[in-house]
Amino acid sequence: MAEHYKDRHVIIGRCAHLTEPKQIHYDQGRAQCQARHLCYRGCPYGGYFSSNSSTIPWAAKTGKLTLRPDSVVHSIIYDEIKQRATGVRVIDTHTKQMTEYYARIIFVNAACLNTNLVLLNSTSRRFPKGLGNDSGLLGHYVAFHNYRGNIVADYEGFDDGYYYGRRPTTAFMPNFRNVRKQEMDFQRGYMVAFSAARSGWQQGTGQEGFGADFKDKLSNPGAWHVFMMMQAETVPRYENHVRLSSDQKDPWGIPQLITAIDYTDNDLKVMQDFLEQGAEMLDKSGCKHIKSYDDHRNPGLDIHEMGGVRMGRDPKTSLLNAHNQLHSVKNVFITDGAAMTSTGSQNPSITFMALTARAANFAVEEMKKRNL
Ligand SMILES: Cc1cc2nc3c(=O)[nH]c(=O)nc-3n(C[C@H](O)[C@H](O)[C@H](O)COP(=O)(O)OP(=O)(O)OC[C@H]3O[C@@H](n4cnc5c(N)ncnc54)[C@H](O)[C@@H]3O)c2cc1C
Ligand code: SF4
């Protein structure tokens, strides 16, 4: 690839899997990743980072953590006299009883869309359109990653190569469009992710069978196939929004969230560029039978929702300040994807975690100074 494209770099995916656990990981009850790629079912070894494997056990060790399972946050309580949030209303999923919990500061991290929902549902005389919603922008500028473009191909050769275990990651190519200057007839860009597998392995997926014969069959690898996909930034826009339903409620009596988002011409131009460039790169790499397609999936049917409670300096055009505090309710922090003003083309969760760590540190310091 390097000889054809100076600006395109293939990087093996770096996952939060423990390849060389340190003492701190053992202390958290975690162990080395077994490289079997069953991560999507949850990992009994704590082999990959998650709240369940890492931060919750670590927080539990302090003796100050209380987990309240089977609970749905209905809304945040705002005290008009104190002019601050004082707690949350929580519904027990079994009894449907509502309980109020009180706190000095509140972090809302229900993942982007539900964070929007909780804030929109937190109405009061001061905030009739949702908590902190003086700008009227709560729920707007929701964005997502565009995954519509896909490419498949065959790769001949390497038939005598065997591999053992499964690497729970793919390869990535960071965005190479509009990086230093605007150079395309579309805005922003896309990351490329790709992987290769042998048909024997793929045929095993979802097939019935067990035991030595079945394993032998699976370890008889077929030809190599390549799969390539895009992860493109969508430009946040006012029209892409979420709002509360006026008549439909969930089983706990909370209004359902209506998601009103669509692609733009820009998204389609980005996809077209990926389909052309991806096919060209695979061709130059020696792939055969290259097939590019738009799978026409609905927008947002994916995994990286962002926006709706955007950060910004100006309270007229944003909801959160630089510390992820609501401009008008300083003891409420929003640090998940809802805070994002753009999606970038990278995987976003480490940014959410960094924002959270920074805001949590700020909150602690402010509490020590009695500013919160
Ligand atoms: C299949 C898949 C693959 C992904 N791969 C990647 C990747 O490779 N890289 C990457 O960066 N990101 C990836 N993501 C995205 C990543 O998982 C999310 O960005 C991340 O989990 C968001 O963290 P969060 O804490 O904001 O939300 P979550 O992890 O979703 O946690 C929110 C929690 O809030 C709870 N909750 C919601 N509403 C309420 C309520 N009203 N009351 C009480 N509790 C509530 C939920 O039950 C949940 O436990 C992937 C997502 C999926 C689904
Ligand atoms: S491959 Fe995934 S499920 Fe298996 S040990 Fe590693 S992290 Fe856990």
Q: Is residue 50 within 6 Å of ligand 2 at its C-beta? A: no
Pair 161, 57 in one domain: no
Mutation choice for ligand 2 from 14, 25, 34, CB with most ligand atoms inside 8 A:
34
With the C-alpha atoms ordered 114, 115, 116, 121, is the resulting torsion angle positive or negative? positive
Query: Phi-psi bin for 105: left (phi > 0), alpha (psi -120 to 50), beta?
Result: beta
**Does the pLDDT of residue 200 top 90, yes or no?**
no
Pair 157, 275 in one domain: yes
**Does the pLDDT of residue 303 top 60, yes or no?**
yes
In a domain, 216, yes or no: yes
Domain boundary among 51, 67, 83: 67
With the C-alpha atoms ordered 301, 304, 307, 308, is the resulting torsion angle positive or negative? positive
pLDDT tier at 204, thresholds 50, 70, 90: low
Pair 63, 166 in one domain: no
Q: In whole angstroms, give the CA distance from residue 187 to residue 127.
A: 35
What φ, ψ does residue 11 adopt, rounded to 5°? -130, 130
Contact 245, 257 (CB under 8 A): yes
pLDDT single digits (tens) 128-186:
999 999 999 999 999 999 999 999 999 999 887 766 666 667 899 999 999 999 999 99
Pair 186, 290 in one domain: yes
Pair 153, 278 in one domain: yes
Query: In a 10 Å sphere around its CB, with 0-12 CB exposed, 13-18 middle and 19+ buried, how is residue 200 labelled?
Result: middle
Average model confidence (pLDDT) across the chain = 93
Average pLDDT value for residue range 226-247: 97
Average pLDDT value for residue range 248-262: 96
Pair 58, 152 in one domain: no
Q: Is residue 48 within 6 Å of ligand 2 at its C-beta? A: yes
Domain boundary among 30, 46, 67: 67
In a domain, 104, yes or no: no
At position 87, the amino acid (one-letter code) is: G
Mutation choice for ligand 2 from 18, 30, 32, 43, CB with most ligand atoms inside 8 A:
43
Share of the chain above pLDDT 70, in %: 95
In a domain, 127, yes or no: no
Give nearest CA residue, ligand 1 atom 3. 303
Pair 40, 153 in one domain: no
* CA neighbor of 219 nearest in space, from 154, 166, 271: 166
Pair 62, 152 in one domain: no
Q: Is residue 168 within 6 Å of ligand 2 at its C-beta? A: yes
In a domain, 281, yes or no: yes
The pLDDT score that the predictor gives to residue 194 is 93
Pair 48, 181 in one domain: no
Domain boundary among 240, 273, 294: 294
Contact 229, 194 (CB under 8 A): yes
pLDDT single digits (tens) 71-114:
999 999 999 999 999 999 999 999 999 999 999 999 999 999 99
Pair 156, 57 in one domain: no
Contact 122, 78 (CB under 8 A): yes
In a domain, 256, yes or no: no
Pair 167, 282 in one domain: yes
Spacing, Cα 34 to ligand 2 middle (Å): 5
Q: Is residue 44 within 6 Å of ligand 2 at its C-beta? A: no
pLDDT single digits (tens) 23-59:
999 998 999 998 877 787 888 899 999 888 999 999 9
Report the atom number in ligand 1 closest to the C-alpha of 349: 11
Give nearest CA residue, ligand 2 atom 7. 47
**Does the pLDDT of residue 21 top 80, yes or no?**
yes
**Does the pLDDT of residue 218 top 80, yes or no?**
no
pLDDT single digits (tens) 310-321:
999 999 999 999
Domains contained in the chain, number: 2
pLDDT tier at 14, thresholds 50, 70, 90: confident
Report the atom number in ligand 1 closest to the C-alpha of 115: 38
Give nearest CA residue, ligand 1 atom 37. 110
In a domain, 301, yes or no: no
Contact 4, 284 (CB under 8 A): yes
In a domain, 122, yes or no: no
Q: Range of 58's domain?
A: 7-67
Q: Is residue 130 within 6 Å of ligand 2 at its C-beta? A: no
Other beta carbons less than 10 A from residue 367's beta carbon = 13
The pLDDT score that the predictor gives to residue 301 is 84
In a domain, 28, yes or no: yes
